[in-house]
Structure 1
Amino acid sequence: MNYTLNQLRVFLKIVQTESVTKASEELFLSQPAVSIQLKNFQDQFPIPLTEVVGRKIQITDFGREIAESAEQILQQVQAIDFKTAAYKGLLAGRLRISIVSTAKYVMPYFLTDFMNLHPEVKLQMDVTNKQKVIESLENNEIDFALVSLLPSKMKVEKLDLLDNNLYLVGKTGIDFKPDQKVEEIFKNLPLIFREEGSGTRQTMEKFIEDQNLTVIKRMELATNEAVKQSILAGLGFSIMPLIGLRNELETGKLQIIPCPGLPITTEWQLIWREGKKHSPVSEEFLAYLKIHKEEIIADKFAWCN
Structure 2
Amino acid sequence: MGTALYWHDDCLGHVTPDGHPERVARLEHIRAALADMTGLDRREAPLGGDELILRGHPQSYLDKIDSSEPESGFVTLDSDTHMSNGSVAAARRAVGGAIAAVDAVMAGEVTNAFVATRPPGHHAERSTHMGFCLFGNVALAAKHAMEVHGLTRVAVVDFDVHHGNGTQDLLWDEARALFFSSHQMPLWPGTGAPKEKGAHGQIVNLPLAPTTGGAEMRAVYDEHVFPRIDAYAPELLLISAGFDAHRADPLANLNWEVEDFVWLTENLCDLAEKHCGRRVVSALEGGYDVEALAASVAAHVTVLKEKGA
Higher CA-based Rg: 1
**TM-score normalised by the chain length of structure 2:** 0.29
